[in-house]
Structure 1
Amino acid sequence: MFRTALRNVLAHKARLLMTVLAVMLGVAFVSGTLVFTNTISDAFQNSAAKGFDHVDVAVEAKHQKSKGDRVGRTPELTRATLEQSARVPGAASALGVVRGFTAIADKDGKLIGGGFQSEGGNYWGGKDPRYPLTDGTAPHGKGQVLIDSETARRTGYKVGDTVRISVDGPVLTPTVSGIFTTDDGNVAAGGSLALFDTTTAQKLFGKPGTYDEIDVKAKAGTSQTALKAQLDEALPKGKTETTTGRQLADDQARAISSSMSSMKQGLLVFAGIALFVGTFIIANTFTMLVAQRTRELALLRAVGASRRQVTRSVLIEAFVVGAVAAVTGLVAGIGIGAGLRSLLGSLGATVPDGPLVVTPGTVATALAVGILVTMLAAWLPGRRAAKIPPVAAMSSVHAQATTKSLVLRNTLGALFSAAGIVVILAATKMDGDTGQAPMGLGAVLLIVGVFVLTPLLSRPLIAAADPVLRVFGVSGRLARQNSVRNPRRTAATASALMIGLTLITGMTVMAGSLQQAIDRMASSSIRADYVVSMANGNDLSPDVDRKLRTTEGVTATSPLRNAPSRIDGETEFLTGVNGAVIGRLTDLKVDDGSFSVGGTRVVVDKDTAEHHHWTAGSGFTVSYEDGKKQKLTVAGIYEGNEMIRGIMLDNATLAPHQSDPTDMQVMVKTADGTSAATKDRLVEALGSNPAIKIQDKKDISNTIARSFTLLLNMLYGLLAMAVIVAVLGVINTLAMSVFERSQEIGMLRAIGLDRKGIKRMVRLESLVISLFGGVLGIGLGVFFGWAAGELLGARMATYELVLPWARMGVFLLLAATVGVLAALWPARRAARLNMLQAIKSE
């Protein structure tokens, strides 16, 4: 039986190749994802671990929790704490660490590092062991700075050059006093690091005389654990917390692994989709292979082979196919992993150096996935063939499915579909967080149900194309009959394409609807011409608002300032605004009272008001971060959104209670409205600062749109894998269908249907099957897009379903293209059949 199985595998090399390709693509995607993420994660972890070589124990301030009306605060690490740390018996040295956002502009004035990876810090003394100098000297004063060697290499800056730097708003133009090397992970990932002397860094980052962290180095013979115990004993109880360098490295490694896991999971989802689609093709292929060899299997049964041996023979074939596909897929996956890493470099993302990581787990996963998926897909056809009695198989009595089996299949499909729809509809009524799991379950149930029902759905949907097919005469009518002749095979072939298009359409519908909702939100809630913020999302210096207020053409500005407080024993964040003009800069619907901010009068968004049971005229007591209390009055209740919400009060009321006020953003109204000249004037007023973004409403919408576009483009690229697998499935199905119908095609040729007619028949059959899968996929995708949008858009008053008709038309055209391309080889093969030999074939 083993030799028979191997002979059967090698007897049909073309079918073997296409089946192997279908499995190989899925395996390659899985293994490529694992190789890529493991390689990047390992490189960053090794780089991060080197960054803690000079830290045996790190001392940080411990945040004090909020209690009663007291707002929780974080104590400061002072010079005294640093000296206490250095005096413990096991400490060889202690240095204070200061960190903060520092944007560096390149020679063209553009921001380096993308904002979020633009960091600054302090250089400790005349020689800092963390940052070895490769050129120049240590910085002194506000006029000197050190930059990392990677930034120097990318920008061309050298010692003695003047650079433009921004910390929290104002632009500095220090001289590069030196260049250093670092193992900092942000720099390795394409960011930048600028270092000032400690006193200057403390002033620039708003931390005069204090530190963010104290790094302690142990004496020879003192372990990190022993030094940590000594520091815990010496430092103030409950105000500091200590962590060993080893623990910091482990935490960093876990953080990197966690950040990579989301990317890994996302990529593996699409790999799973490709494999899921491939499973249909494999099952379809083995079903047809077994059907074609039914008499051969019946003969084996007649000469003594048992049912188990017949099933085992089919599974051996599947094992051989799966093993070949898994090995080739693993090799291809390693190439994909290396290619993705190179692609990151070509896109400008810097990755730390390191070897390509191919773990035993990756190898085992690739082999297991390839072999198990293939064997599972082949098990049902093999089992079904083994149950056919030998005499029935030889006389082809088994050919048609029984009415009982069709009724059972349709009943199960209807139950799964109904259950999926009910669960999805129930999930749309739930909260965004609690409804996600039921939504996912409902989607799975509905897809399974529709797949099971696809043979039943194929007849009416394909019949709808009959008027168009009649235009093509005999070839069109024969194509329609061939499409519904074997509904199960047609369903399995169409389902592969259906799944891919369901996901693409669903994501497109949801993204388009959310984008339009955000556009409406920006245009309806903001009257300001411009919104000014930091490139990395950090807070702005109050100087920014002062400069903008005095700029020519600016008629009104309002900073939005965030501050913690305690209200009714709960932590609430207050939003400080310019109460005199905030009504001119926003356009928020007021449900109760009036939009009036000033003195002790505040406005509150609807959700916060309902939580505290406030109405217009209600009074409440707020405890500010400095511990002082004040009675405030709710002047009005407005409808908040994702862009503007919370308790708004006048900055004149809030500022006296803040020790270091900073602004989240500044809204600006100008006399001339939005224009290139006005924007240039604002940019110039802020010193052409590379760290500051000046956006109008269109810019805000475009920024959000770019994130959606990037997500969709990634999705389209990844799901192209599933479409390729679906193409292979259609080719496989048509090729085997042509083989099965050789005698019929020979007869058609004999009675006058020419080769062009035969080609047209096969092409139209392929086109009908592909469009059938496309219509189902687009229909399901629209439903899922609507449902997911209802769930995610429940908090957005401006959300409304948007159907992207043009893109859906493109998707349907894509399905048709798949059908045309997939039919090229089978149609050519059918047309070249020798009619006499075909008529004599059995």
Structure 2
Amino acid sequence: MLKTALRNVLAHKARLLMTTLAVLLGVAFVSGTLVFTATLSEAFQRSSEKGLTHVDLAVQPDGDTDAAETGPGDADDLGQDLLDATAALPGVASATGEVSGFAALADKDGDLVGAGWDTRGANYYAGTEGTGTDARHPLTEGRAPQAAGEIALDSATAERTGYRIGDTARVSVDGPVREETVTGIFTTEDGAVAAGGSLVLFDTATAQELFTAPGEYSRITLQAADGATQQDLKDAVAPLLPEDAEAITGQQLAADQAEEIEQQTSGMRTALLAFAGISLFVGVFIIANTFTMLVAQRTRELALLRAVGASRRQVTRSVLIEALVVGTVAGVTGFAAGIGIAAGLRSLMDAFDVTVPEGPLIVDGTAVLASLIVGIVVTVLAAYLPARRAAKIPPVAAMSSIHAAPTARRMVVRTTIGAVVALGGGALVVAGIGSGDKGATMGLGAALLVIGVFILTPLLSRPVIAAAAPLLRLFGVSGKLARRNAVRNPRRTAATASALMIGLTLITGITVIADSMAKSIDKMATESLRSDYVVSMANFSPLSPEVEETLAARPEVTDITGLSMSPALIADESDERYLTGVNGAAIGELTNLDFEAGSFEGLDGENAVVDTDTAEDLGLGLGDTFPVRYEDGTDGSLTVSGLYEGNEMIRGVILDDAALDPHMERVTDFQVMLRTADGASEEARSALEAALGDNPAVLVQDKEDVSEDIAFMFTLLLNMLYALLGMAVIVAVLGVINTLAMSVFERRQEIGMLRAIGLERRGTKRMVRLESVVIALFGGVLGVGLGVFFGWAVGEMLRDYLTTYELVLPWGRMAVFLGLAALVGVLAALWPARRAARLNMLEAIKAE
């Protein structure tokens, strides 16, 4: 039986090719994901470890400090006294005070260099006397910055921007533009710089003024002297630690960074593996369909084996051996293709200026084992039911080439089971809308509904395909034959269409959700804001109050407010909430919020307006007074002067900034809203940008810009998801090709007869193509329908969190999806149609 199975694989290698390709693509996605994420993780980890070369112990703020005990804003006491004390400890070779924060650098064309967290500023620590060197940042040219107005740049940033010693560079930390002279260029092993970021160094006093406070450090690092261990340093430093600080060894820092990197890449890995799983799930239909058709075509052969003594177990085993061979070949080749995919993804990141630290591709045992297991297990499991069906062929079937077709009773049982599963799944999806279990019920219901629809597809295929009959009649005999061929074997048609259905279900559902979310957030932005412009940092870091002051002085600005945020303990709660400070006299003119009671009119002094959800949580009503502990630890009280309907843009406790600012450690705004006399215009925007020094780190956006940003984010996300789901669609296309090719093979006698009685080659090709288009459109209709249903359900669940949510059905895109399904049918039929048209009539007629 082993020899028989291997000979069958070789005899049907052309028919098994598409199955192998389907599994290969899924396995390649899995192995490529594992290799790519392992490579990223290893590269960033090595880069981070290099950055800790000079760190044996780090003293830094304790992130676990209880705010209820210390006050929300108790400052971390990492001052000069602590630095001097730790430097004097036995076993300490050197101590370094580190200061860091966001610093945007403009290139010579005025464009921002880098973006977000990787655009950083820090201090060049030259020792207590200011005459030493910083081992973290060895200089290659020039000298270290020594006073305000001087900076040093990392060598990679200097190279890509073209800055040289003596050049003037424009830098922005919190809004205002600073003109700085480049005095030095240095090298660094900082992991963020190795990943494509930029680093600007200031002298320590300037860095403290910009990022912390005079005499305060973000972190203190120690290097051990010869003979001292990291634990020795930790024990020696322990008595000196402030209450809200902790000491961490260099080894622990490296371990923590490795864990953080692992967590960052695990989300990417999980997402990519999910799409790989979808591709493999689609591939299951192809594998099952392929082996079902192979078994049907070899009915006489298998029955003859039974007649000469082969047992059911042996027949089952022979089919599973064929699947094992196919799965092994697909697993090995898919693994090799996955390595190529990982290398390609890394190159793609470089092409999009997403720099990854240097390092080799990491191909570990996990990727190898996963590829083989996935390829073999998926293929064997998918072939199990066809194998069992093959074993049940009675020996008497050897006398005839016709095996018993599914009985009416079996179809009734299948339809009943499918209806129960589908209705149960649909009910769970609807129940999941208000269940509050973060989508678990809805996810289970969605899976059951898809399975139920799959079980019902043989029943659904006849009426749906029958609806296309009027169009098919336009193609004459070829159209009629195509319709009959499509419904001749409902199970085969259902399995083929289901593969495409799954891909289009996901694509349609995601499109509905994304378009609805974009519309809803756009609606919220435009309806809740009356301001003409919103000003913020490009990476949404805090703005200096100087920005509001500068813009307020412009003659065209009529109303303006900065929005500041400060942590606080409210109404004796143990968890922090944020207070929002605004210009109480202007906020009413710049927002359009619905008030349940009160208004912005009385927002001054110790009054505050509170959104209704927060008020309900705290048990507050109009006129109530509640205690508050501010950021600086002082206690006070506020009186509710208004209750408003909050949204994702504006919510929480709002008070006048004159009451909040005195309690903030650093007074900053997260954005500034303003109105101009003549409304939004290019002239007004240009004037505002010029007033801020044409700063590339600051965004001046009107409502249309905000909407475009929202649309861009969702479009970018959609395109990424389309690209990933495209893998599942490609696998589905292979399934259609495979089904048609094997269908042509088993109908070659019939096609020969049609050709003999006058059907031209062109008509034969048209018949196969139309059959393919009908099957593809059948899957497309089911996929779009399910996708709309799932999109609606998820949207209803989101409505509790997004008050402006509005269902948007992208009719144009859905039409495009159906058009693409038809195109898939046309493309998939090219080879099978050509093969059918080129059959030799006489050989086909006499074929058994």
**Pairing 1:296–2:301 present:** yes
Match in the other structure for 1:580: 585
In 2, Cα distance between the equivalents of 1:271 and 1:393?
42
Match in the other structure for 2:384: 379
Q: Give the TM-score, by structure 2 length.
A: 0.97
**Pairing 1:804–2:790 present:** no
In 2, Cα distance between the equivalents of 1:68 and 1:79?
25
Match in the other structure for 2:554: 551
Match in the other structure for 2:513: 510
Match in the other structure for 1:488: 491
Two-structure CA RMSD over aligned residues (Å): 1.5
Q: State the shift of 1:393 in Å.
A: 5.0
**Pairing 1:370–2:375 present:** yes
Match in the other structure for 1:87: 88
Q: State the shift of 1:226 in Å.
A: 1.9
What aligned pairs does 1:422-461 form with structure 2 within 5 A after superposition?
422-431=427-436, 434-461=437-464
Which of 270, 283, 286 aligns to 2:291? It is 286
What aligned pairs does 1:113-192 form with structure 2 within 5 A after superposition?
113-125=114-126, 126-192=132-198
In 1, Cα distance between the equivalents of 2:117 and 2:246?
27
**Pairing 1:252–2:257 present:** yes
* Residue identity opposite 2:529 in structure 1: I
In 2, Cα distance between the equivalents of 1:270 and 1:464?
33
Secondary structure of the residue that 1:164 maps to in structure 2? strand
After superposition, what is the alpha-carbon deviation per residue over 1:271-300, rounded to whole angstroms, capped at 9, x for unaligned?
A: 111111111101100110111111111111
Q: State the shift of 1:712 in Å.
A: 0.7
In 2, Cα distance between the equivalents of 1:61 and 1:797?
38
Which of 666, 671, 680 aligns to 1:674? It is 680
After superposition, what is the alpha-carbon deviation per residue over 1:627-665, rounded to whole angstroms, capped at 9, x for unaligned?
A: 433332222211111111111111112222223211111
Match in the other structure for 2:62: 62
Match in the other structure for 1:73: 74
Which of 625, 628, 632 aligns to 1:626? It is 632
| Structure 1 pair 177–751 and aligned structure 2 pair: CA distance change class (3 A) | same
Q: Is the 8 A contact 2:118 2:197 kept in 1?
A: yes
Secondary structure of the residue that 1:210 maps to in structure 2? coil
In 2, Cα distance between the equivalents of 1:605 and 1:714?
36
Q: State the shift of 1:2 in Å.
A: 1.5
Secondary structure of the residue that 2:539 maps to in structure 1? coil
Q: Is the 8 A contact 1:88 1:234 kept in 2?
A: no
**Pairing 1:28–2:28 present:** yes
Q: Is the 8 A contact 2:572 2:628 kept in 1?
A: no
Q: State the shift of 1:617 in Å.
A: 2.3
**Pairing 1:761–2:762 present:** no
In 2, Cα distance between the equivalents of 1:368 and 1:394?
40
Q: Is the 8 A contact 1:62 1:74 kept in 2?
A: no
After superposition, what is the alpha-carbon deviation per residue over 1:28-72, rounded to whole angstroms, capped at 9, x for unaligned?
A: 111111111111111111000111110001011336423379446
Which of 591, 596, 602 aligns to 2:596? It is 591
Q: Is the 8 A contact 1:116 1:535 kept in 2?
A: no
In 2, Cα distance between the equivalents of 1:669 and 1:115?
28
In 2, Cα distance between the equivalents of 1:579 and 1:734?
71
What aligned pairs does 1:160-559 form with structure 2 within 5 A after superposition?
160-236=166-242, 238-392=243-397, 394-396=399-401, 398-431=403-436, 434-559=437-562
What aligned pairs does 1:678-717 form with structure 2 within 5 A after superposition?
678-717=684-723
Secondary structure of the residue that 2:169 maps to in structure 1? coil
Q: Is the 8 A contact 2:331 2:371 kept in 1?
A: yes
In 1, Cα distance between the equivalents of 2:70 and 2:561?
29
Q: State the shift of 1:679 in Å.
A: 0.9
Q: State the shift of 1:506 in Å.
A: 0.4
Secondary structure of the residue that 1:116 maps to in structure 2? helix
In 1, Cα distance between the equivalents of 2:443 and 2:275?
15
* Residue identity opposite 1:821 in structure 2: L
Secondary structure of the residue that 2:818 maps to in structure 1? helix
Q: Is the 8 A contact 1:544 1:686 kept in 2?
A: yes
In 1, Cα distance between the equivalents of 2:662 and 2:84?
33
* Residue identity opposite 1:118 in structure 2: T
Q: Give the TM-score, by structure 1 length.
A: 0.98
**Pairing 1:660–2:666 present:** yes
Q: Is the 8 A contact 1:69 1:567 kept in 2?
A: no
In 1, Cα distance between the equivalents of 2:636 and 2:208?
33
* Paired residue total: 839
* Residue identity opposite 1:296 in structure 2: E
* Residue identity opposite 1:135 in structure 2: E
Q: Is the 8 A contact 1:69 1:623 kept in 2?
A: no
In 1, Cα distance between the equivalents of 2:339 and 2:62?
45
In 1, Cα distance between the equivalents of 2:399 and 2:723?
47
Aligned identity (percent) is 63
* Residue identity opposite 1:796 in structure 2: L
* Residue identity opposite 2:770 in structure 1: L
Q: Is the 8 A contact 1:69 1:569 kept in 2?
A: no
Secondary structure of the residue that 1:732 maps to in structure 2? helix
Secondary structure of the residue that 2:29 maps to in structure 1? helix
In 2, Cα distance between the equivalents of 1:588 and 1:500?
41
Q: Is the 8 A contact 1:84 1:235 kept in 2?
A: no
Match in the other structure for 1:105: 106
Q: State the shift of 1:239 in Å.
A: 3.2
After superposition, what is the alpha-carbon deviation per residue over 1:724-754, rounded to whole angstroms, capped at 9, x for unaligned?
A: 1111111111111111112222222233322
Q: Is the 8 A contact 1:10 1:16 kept in 2?
A: no
After superposition, what is the alpha-carbon deviation per residue over 1:740-786, rounded to whole angstroms, capped at 9, x for unaligned?
A: 11222222223332222222211111111000000000000001111
Q: Is the 8 A contact 2:105 2:112 kept in 1?
A: yes
In 1, Cα distance between the equivalents of 2:569 and 2:808?
41
Q: State the shift of 1:179 in Å.
A: 1.0
Secondary structure of the residue that 2:182 maps to in structure 1? strand
* Residue identity opposite 2:61 in structure 1: A
Q: Is the 8 A contact 2:39 2:360 kept in 1?
A: yes
In 1, Cα distance between the equivalents of 2:822 and 2:62?
63
Q: State the shift of 1:411 in Å.
A: 2.0
Secondary structure of the residue that 2:800 maps to in structure 1? helix
Higher deviation after alignment, 633-642 or 208-217? 633-642
Match in the other structure for 1:731: 737
In 1, Cα distance between the equivalents of 2:73 and 2:457?
60
Secondary structure of the residue that 1:177 maps to in structure 2? strand
Match in the other structure for 2:129: none
Secondary structure of the residue that 1:653 maps to in structure 2? helix
Structure 2: stretches of 5+ with no match in the other structure: 127-131
Secondary structure of the residue that 2:397 maps to in structure 1? helix
